[in-house]
Amino acid sequence: MQKKAVIVQDVSCFGKCSATVALPIVSSFNIEAALLPTALLSAHTGFSNYTCFDLTEQMKTTLDDWKSLSLRFDGFFSGYMLSDQQASLALEVLDNLVKKDALVLVDPVMGDNGKAYAMLNDSFGAKMRTLVSRAAVITPNLTEAALLLEKEPVLENYDKAYIEQSLFELKKLGCKIPMITGVSFEKDKIGVAFLENGKVHFVFSKKYDGVTCGTGDTLSSVLFGALLSGARVGDAVSAAVSAVERAIKSGVRDYGIDFECLLSGKKEILFRSIDNQDIII
């Protein structure tokens, strides 16, 4: 049966990130995707000018409507939110609209390049940690991992021990499989570190200079689609890392990577699911 997922993210009307990336990618896995938008932005916050319309009130009425429809989702995927109040509403989604055994992926969008985004304050951080405690998988970058752990971000000259230690500390926040994205020990390689069953694993691809925007969203969206389609964790991470590399190789513009190449043209078998189906996007 087709799985149903709820995506809690903003809509950035120009620039490739969050919902405009997550919806097509998740749909490409033949998953029915519902969107609970957190905000409507003219463009993402990386642009010098943008307007942001806060959708908290609309989130509340949507939640009430969905409760009355008795919706039950198999997967939950959250990203950019504006406030602790929105994070509380995301928790309400988990409590009321998501199946007990659902896949919960939380991308704790809070900062990048060593800096916290404007919405981060103590109560937002605390609510995000509560959300993380409910997740199967979290996908912070190095900055967000440090912010979750209430530490100063370290972006350079870290070693494997630092990443391993951070993953073990993230696990103590209560998530099942912590990941850290954008990990790089060598200047031409970048990838994901994750902790599963007490062991730390790394998946790397080639690093391309100057590319950041949209990579995290493509990565977490493929990861979510793959896991909800029944991939083993290591296969899902490999699929996500290689999808990002494919999208970067296909084209990079100032507003994002060419994730559309994953949806059209040559399809690739990404992995074989636990129940032995080929998953192709």
**Interface ranges with ligand PXL (CB under 6 A):** 10, 12, 17-18, 41, 44-46, 79-80, 109, 216-217
- Bridge partner list, 164: none
Q: How many whole angstroms separate alpha carbon 213 and alpha carbon 16?
A: 8
- CB–CB of 175/135 below 8 Å? yes
Q: Which two three-digit tokens encode residue 35?
A: 């969107």
3-state secondary structure 130-182: HHHHCCCEECCEHHHHHHHCCCCCCCCCCCHHHHHHHHHHHHCCCCCEEEEEE
Cα separation of the two ends of the chain:
18
Q: How far is the CB of 12 from ligand PXL (least distance, A)?
A: 5
> Could you give the 3-state DSSP secondary structure of residue 125?
helix
List, in order, residues 6 or more apart from 104 with CB less than 8 Å away.
75, 76, 94, 98, 134, 135, 136, 137
For ligand PXL, the closer CB: 50 or 185:
50
Cβ 114 to ligand PXL, closest distance in Å?
14
CB closer to ligand PXL out of 28 and 181: 181
Q: How far apart are CA 120 and CA 203, in angstroms?
A: 29
Q: Which is nearer to ligand PXL, 45 or 250 (CB)?
A: 45
Residue closer to ligand PXL by CB (options 71, 120) is 120
The DSSP output letter for 186 is S
Question: What minimum distance in Å lies between the beta carbon of 107 and ligand PXL?
Answer: 8
Q: Which residue is nearest to ligand PXL (CB)?
A: 45
Least separation in angstroms between CB 27 and ligand PXL: 19
Pick the closer one to ligand PXL by CB: 121 or 212.
212
CB of residue 79 to ligand PXL, shortest distance in Å: 6
Strands 199-206 and 137-138: unpaired
189-196/177-183 β-pairing: antiparallel
Q: Quick one: 87 or 279, whose CB is closer to ligand PXL?
A: 87
Residue type for position 260: E
CB of 16 to ligand PXL, least distance (A): 9
- Compare residues 40 and 91 and give the one whose CB is closer to ligand PXL: 40
> Least distance in Å: CB of 21 to ligand PXL?
8
